[in-house]
Structure 1
Amino acid sequence: MHSTMRNESNTENNFDEKHVAERNEKASSYASEDSSEKVVWDARTVVALASLCLLWYISIFDRVIDKNEMWSILTFVGSVRSRPPFQAAMTPLLTSTGSQLPLYFLGGMALTATSWMPVANTLALASVAPFSGYLGDLFGRRNITMIGAGAIRVGIVIVATAHSFAQVVGGMALSGAGAGIGELTALSGVGELVPVKKRGLFVGLVVACLIPTTPYVMYSQLFSSRTDPQAYQGWRWGQWISLIYNGVALVGIALTYFPERNSPISRRPRSEVLREIDYVGAFLSISGVALFLVALQSGGLTHPWTSDVVLATLIIGIFLIIGFCVWEWKFAKTPMIPRELFSGQRIVAITFAISFISGMNFYSLINFFPATFSSLYNPDPIQVGLKGLGYGISVTAGAASVNALMTYLPKYNRELLLGSCVLMTAFIGALATATPDNARQTVALGTIGGFGVGGVLVPAQTIAMTACPDHLIGTVVSLALAIRVIGGSIGYSIYFNIFKNKLTAALPTYIAGKAVAVGLPATSAVQFVTAFLTAPATAAKVEGVTAQVIAAAGRGAQEANAHAFYYVWVTSIAFGLVSVLLCMALPSNYKFLTNRVAAHIKH
């Protein structure tokens, strides 16, 4: 018995010594100024990098097209049947837009499940991303990348061939999970194949691959405006295009992407690594984030915030997330969030906080800004798409250019991020001046604000990638992505409820005031407003209603929307100021910008 105990003790000591040696080797590699490995720029390396860039492109393209086509999909697979009173006034203003907001505004606030079509995509992405990055760091990037690309492919096919609600939700969830994996593995995969000091430049090149995606509002308008039976296949082509690009990326990755990392983890037996996976942490994080986001999307949308469904889901989700933090801190042997990620520097923690806050403003821009084009101005699909070109291009331009400048201005990375936060805060907040009469000003403000958003969103991840240990680069990118989505979901929930409450109160007042001002008898005001908000086709039959009254009521609805949007943009200023303060507290990452290369393509 004593012999057995001594053997067990020796085994534990050997295990501990092995891990101490691994940590020392990691620290030595992390601290080294230059890598002994140089980047070999041959055809295989170039094709591998290009394939990762294309995977990043398709991960983003599929998500924005999926979400922005959902109104068209609802038209065919089971559109919303119930309408709260104020939504009818928004119908002529929002049904032409390809953004996801019509889905929420026209269908979501009734007790309907159709709003979960686009939500399923984001929910799956945020839930799966942290565990995927962790697995990529343990098992290597190639296999996880292939799984992500395959999941996108299957999800696209399911959505493109869907004829039922369940099919679309399932396909959206699967493609969302795959897109999350694709986005994080593309960024971390490219980042570890180049010198640390050039990660900004190459991540900027990855982001620049999104330039063909920037007119996504126009794409969605053109696809989703084809709603007649003869053009039934129109919206599906958004999916087929995604599938084609995904196939090219998948082939390129399968043939050329064989990364070898300078990490002791990559030399350990697969069976040993499998035993050390943090399964408990994975369960707590995935289930906690999923339930938390479900509660946020349900509250005020499909259920009241005080309902048992929302409160129970929210509380359980929060407790699971707290349990995950305690488990990672005290009990996990191979945690999903290692302490060494934050040891010796504050950069990673602060950039995570910046990602969280910037996610709030990013979601306010991409969700609410397109809606202003159709609710305040001409709702023609082409006009909405043209107005959306500016900010779509500027977000990508901001992300690509600021990332690239981080390589050429290595001592001023913090200042670049700070300047972007100031632009984001000032110009998105300035959208509070939007009215039905200043379309050009509104587009200009949103375009400049979009540049600021782009200059924060991805560059914050890039700074974290430069300061983290090489063997945790996937973990850093995945956590930043999940934190950004969670922050965005919280922000969207706040913005949405502000908008809904303000619009619900303003619509009857604005419509009645405008209608009475052009001749509607005061005695008919209540009847007319009720008809206009519930059954617009019958509003003309109300006594005293003329064409001028109908036009004035439409103008009143526009001004009511402008009034509600005002509070959304003003609220965004508070979050923007927090991001500015965080940037001011961010230490310089200059000392981490070395020639060290974390991995290379196997030849």
Structure 2
Amino acid sequence: MSGDSVVPMTRRGVYLPIGALLLGMLLAALDQTIVATALPTIVSDLGGMDHLSWVVTAYLLAVTAATPLWGKLGDQYGRKRLFQSAILIFLVGSALCGVAQNMPQLIGFRAVQGLGGGGLITLSMAIVGDLVPPRERGRFQGLFGAVFGTTSVLGPLLGGFFTEQLNWRWVFYINLPIGALALVVIALALHIPAGGYAHRIDYLGTLLIASAATCVVLVTSLGGTTWDWNSAQVYGLAVLAAVLVVAFVLVERRAVEPVLPMSLFAVRNFTLCAAISFVIGFAMFGAMTYLPTFLQVVHGVSPTMSGVHMLPMVLGVIAASTVSGQLITHTGHWKFFPVVGTGVTTGGLLLLHRLAPDSSQLEMSAYFAVFGIGLGLVLQVLVLVAQNAVRYADLGVATSGVTFFRSIGASVGVAVFGAIFASRLGGKLADALRGQPLPAGVSADSLKHNPQSVSRLPAGARRGVLGAYSESITDVFLFAAPLAFVAFVLTWFFVQQRLRRSVQVPDEAETLAPCPVERSSADEAARALSRLNTLEGRRDLYERITERAGMDLRPAASWMLLRVHHDGPVEPALIPDDGTIPRRVVADAARQLEERGLAEREGLQLVATARGAEAARALSDARQELLAEELGDWWGPDRPTDLTQLVRQLNEEIGRAEPPRAA
């Protein structure tokens, strides 16, 4: 995205549309986590425990398939119109989910929700680039990433609260007033270009990969339950999935703008990141879907408290992800984290397998935390390593590729967990109830479809049923552990590459979200370089350019000289004092420029002298060189035009930012 497309707006004028975009992102992000704690109640009301996983999987598959299309259609036809359409589709899906009368209806309506959700996530982050200049994008996109961190914590709690205090249908109805507010604000306050950038949209590639993923999910979720593993349906879908994958590869080799360029798989570290991302998505979202069921059915925890019990896992993910990201940034060493993270994740899955009806709250919290810490240690580094491994032209698709595989892993993981759970539950319930007296209307089949009827059983039968549910759920973690161990082995094959200075820790949108992230290479580079606009970044930047230009000036004095050179006379006393930069720093900078003969007063205004103009040109050249150096080998002789324009624009904008704090 070119900086030329940014619509000039005051900082205050940006906040209202940004707030509406955050609401849209909140809706889509929340619906990925809010449903899990409501699922046991939904199943008891609508029936269909065998298809519980599809309530989550349908949404994930639809989001994954729709995300790449929304991004390119927004470029072509205008993001405002498309964002409004995405909100409407999402709200229609939410309303229909709220009135669903059976599981097939709910699953279908969740897919409609997912189609809209993919647009909300993709377009909200893309519109930020239309509203704010490159130097500000990192800060605002960080807000959108924080939404995913917040909803990871709040989603399970809110899902439990609405289910317990109102009705599970309010998990979906709550979207309606929030979405309506976002629609009104977007219509009135968002003013951005109408689009017009033509794409060769890869509709066929999108259809093929979505169809292949659906076939895999159908095989894993229906095989062994609805269909025998040796049935013609299972074999037919497996063969069809393989054919679709082969067709997808062939189509992507010829597509002008492929969903997933096959050339990326020639890069060893990217291929490893994609495979490990699949496993992490598989384990993370499978566990987040079924642990609330374990807590509510086996331990009799309320829906709200099941969300509270999940906090050690979620907080473990966020804390480990944040700490590992900071350590990588400061040390430049990253290989340790995926190795340890996948190892801890494997151990965490084995610990979750040990959960039982008599497990204490402390024991469960410890196991949840270990599992979450393992996931968090891996999540940050995978996107970072993939970005570091590719050339600039592939930066955007590398990011979307890794997150795409995590999305597919999440969809398949939830389905596989559900298939293992459903296939084992029926037999274990039958064994537990054999010879047990049962109340009228209660049977192994009714208990399978309505877990809340466990409370009607006599004590002896209840213990057996709770044990059956416990073993059926915890067995899925045992089956997932070998896959996590394979990921652990794969991490040893990473090639330790020196990190480019421009490759920064990804935000939560790229690590916690189960949907692919669609950003262009220029967007990713702008996000990374925009950290130079922070107080610490500006101080470091101006210290370095002053040293490179061979001058002995305070960082703030270098900034002021460039400001005077680019924008003309400046009255230092009128530079806004927002509390972050002391007035003394500005006054001392102006005084130093006068003492060195680099600027002089014309009345109250500061004007550059001839020596000052020459010094400013040297500082400007040094600043642009340093911006280019941040990009490492991306800044080569064959660099694309958009990267050159981005560096030039950032060079100008950073010169107009507030002065660095250090005097």
Secondary structure at 2:458 match in 1: helix
Q: Which residue of 1 aligns with 2:288?
A: 366
Secondary structure at 1:333 match in 2: coil
Q: How many Å apart are 1:324 and its aligned residue?
A: 0.9
- Pair 350,280 (structure 1): closer, same or farther in 2 beyond 3 Å: same
- Pair 407,448 (structure 1): closer, same or farther in 2 beyond 3 Å: same
1:338 to 251, 255, 261: 261
Q: Which residue of 2 aligns with 1:550?
A: 458
Q: Which residue of 2 aligns with 1:284?
A: 208
Q: Separation in 2 of the partners of 1:342 and 1:184? A: 24
Structure 1 position 239 matched with structure 2 position 177: no
Structure 1 position 148 matched with structure 2 position 72: no
- Pair 573,66 (structure 1): closer, same or farther in 2 beyond 3 Å: closer
2:343 to 422, 432, 438: 422
Structure 1 position 395 matched with structure 2 position 317: yes
1:159 to 97, 100, 113: 97
Q: Which residue of 2 aligns with 1:597?
A: 526
List per-residue Cα deviations over 1:260-319 (Å, max 9, x = no partner).
9xxxxx9xx64xx35x33333233233333333334333234333333334333322331
Q: Separation in 1 of the partners of 2:69 and 2:346? A: 32
Q: Separation in 1 of the partners of 2:486 and 2:139? A: 24
- Pair 52,418 (structure 1): closer, same or farther in 2 beyond 3 Å: farther
1:180 to 88, 99, 118: 118
Q: Which residue of 2 aligns with 1:123?
A: 61
CA contact (8 A) 2:205 2:248 kept: yes
Q: Separation in 1 of the partners of 2:78 and 2:487? A: 33
Q: Separation in 1 of the partners of 2:344 and 2:140? A: 22
CA contact (8 A) 2:54 2:107 kept: yes
Q: Which residue of 2 aligns with 1:318?
A: 242
1:349 to 258, 261, 271: 271
List per-residue Cα deviations over 1:491-518 (Å, max 9, x = no partner).
3444344444544444455566xxxxxx
- Pair 133,399 (structure 1): closer, same or farther in 2 beyond 3 Å: farther
Q: Of the two, which has the highest radius of gyration? A: 2
Q: How many Å apart are 1:586 and its aligned residue?
A: 5.2
Which amino acid is 1:289 matched to?
Answer: A
CA contact (8 A) 1:126 1:289 kept: no
- Pair 376,277 (structure 1): closer, same or farther in 2 beyond 3 Å: closer
2:155 to 216, 224, 227: 216
Which amino acid is 1:59 matched to?
Answer: A
Q: How many Å apart are 1:54 and its aligned residue?
A: 4.0
Q: Separation in 1 of the partners of 2:308 and 2:223? A: 33
- Unaligned regions of 5+ residues in structure 1, if any? 1-25, 30-34, 81-102, 109-113, 261-265, 513-524, 538-546
2:405 to 452, 458, 483: 483
Q: Separation in 1 of the partners of 2:231 and 2:481? A: 30
Secondary structure at 1:65 match in 2: coil
Query: Higher relative CO (CA 8 A, sep ≥ 6), structure 1 or 2?
Result: 1
Identity %: 21
Q: How many Å apart are 1:358 and its aligned residue?
A: 0.4
Secondary structure at 2:526 match in 1: coil
List per-residue Cα deviations over 1:26-83 (Å, max 9, x = no partner).
9xx9xxxxx9x9x99934556565555443332121233345545545666xx33xxx
Q: Separation in 2 of the partners of 1:164 and 1:554? A: 27
Which amino acid is 2:526 matched to?
Answer: V
Q: Separation in 2 of the partners of 1:536 and 1:317? A: 34
Q: Which residue of 1 aligns with 2:382?
A: 460
- Pair 351,52 (structure 1): closer, same or farther in 2 beyond 3 Å: farther
Which amino acid is 2:490 matched to?
Answer: L
CA contact (8 A) 2:426 2:445 kept: no
- Pair 358,250 (structure 1): closer, same or farther in 2 beyond 3 Å: farther
Q: How many Å apart are 1:583 and its aligned residue?
A: 3.4
Which amino acid is 1:307 matched to?
Answer: S
CA contact (8 A) 1:392 1:450 kept: yes
Q: How many Å apart are 1:323 and its aligned residue?
A: 0.2
CA contact (8 A) 1:341 1:469 kept: no
- Pair 555,194 (structure 1): closer, same or farther in 2 beyond 3 Å: farther
Secondary structure at 2:34 match in 1: helix
Q: How many Å apart are 1:354 and its aligned residue?
A: 1.9
Greater shift after overlay, 194-203 or 182-191? 194-203
Q: Separation in 1 of the partners of 2:185 and 2:373? A: 31
Q: What are the residue-to-residue correspondences of 1:432-451 with 2, within 5 Å?
A: 432-439=353-360, 440-451=362-373
Q: Separation in 2 of the partners of 1:475 and 1:144? A: 22
List per-residue Cα deviations over 1:104-131 (Å, max 9, x = no partner).
3xx53xxxxx875444322312332344
Q: How many Å apart are 1:356 and its aligned residue?
A: 0.5
- Pair 52,383 (structure 1): closer, same or farther in 2 beyond 3 Å: closer
Q: Separation in 2 of the partners of 1:241 and 1:394? A: 28
CA contact (8 A) 1:151 1:174 kept: yes
- Pair 179,395 (structure 1): closer, same or farther in 2 beyond 3 Å: farther
- Pair 490,239 (structure 1): closer, same or farther in 2 beyond 3 Å: closer
Structure 1 position 60 matched with structure 2 position 54: no
2:11 to 39, 42, 58: 42
Q: How many Å apart are 1:377 and its aligned residue?
A: 1.7
Which amino acid is 2:179 matched to?
Answer: N
TM-score, structure 1 length as denominator? Answer: 0.68
Which amino acid is 2:217 matched to?
Answer: L
Secondary structure at 2:333 match in 1: helix
TM-score, structure 2 length as denominator? Answer: 0.62
Q: What are the residue-to-residue correspondences of 1:483-502 with 2, within 5 Å?
A: 483-502=405-424
List per-residue Cα deviations over 1:342-401 (Å, max 9, x = no partner).
67x544333222210101111331122222213432344454343233324433444455
Greater shift after overlay, 438-447 or 550-559? 550-559
CA contact (8 A) 1:153 1:243 kept: yes
Q: Separation in 2 of the partners of 1:56 and 1:408? A: 27
Q: Separation in 2 of the partners of 1:477 and 1:580? A: 21
Q: Separation in 2 of the partners of 1:560 and 1:204? A: 44
Which amino acid is 2:378 matched to?
Answer: V
CA contact (8 A) 1:354 1:582 kept: yes
- Pair 195,64 (structure 1): closer, same or farther in 2 beyond 3 Å: same
Q: Which residue of 1 aligns with 2:486?
A: 578
Q: How many Å apart are 1:442 and its aligned residue?
A: 1.5
Q: What are the residue-to-residue correspondences of 1:11-22 with 2, within 5 Å?
A: none
Q: Separation in 1 of the partners of 2:274 and 2:138? A: 18
Which amino acid is 1:181 matched to?
Answer: G
- Pair 238,563 (structure 1): closer, same or farther in 2 beyond 3 Å: closer
- Pair 505,291 (structure 1): closer, same or farther in 2 beyond 3 Å: closer
Instruction: Count residues in correspondence.
Output: 499
Q: Separation in 1 of the partners of 2:404 and 2:57? A: 15
CA contact (8 A) 2:279 2:487 kept: yes
- Pair 376,52 (structure 1): closer, same or farther in 2 beyond 3 Å: same
Secondary structure at 1:443 match in 2: helix
- Pair 441,205 (structure 1): closer, same or farther in 2 beyond 3 Å: farther
Secondary structure at 1:360 match in 2: helix
- Unaligned regions of 5+ residues in structure 2, if any? 448-454, 505-524, 528-645, 654-663
Q: Separation in 2 of the partners of 1:162 and 1:505? A: 30
Q: How many Å apart are 1:152 and its aligned residue?
A: 1.8
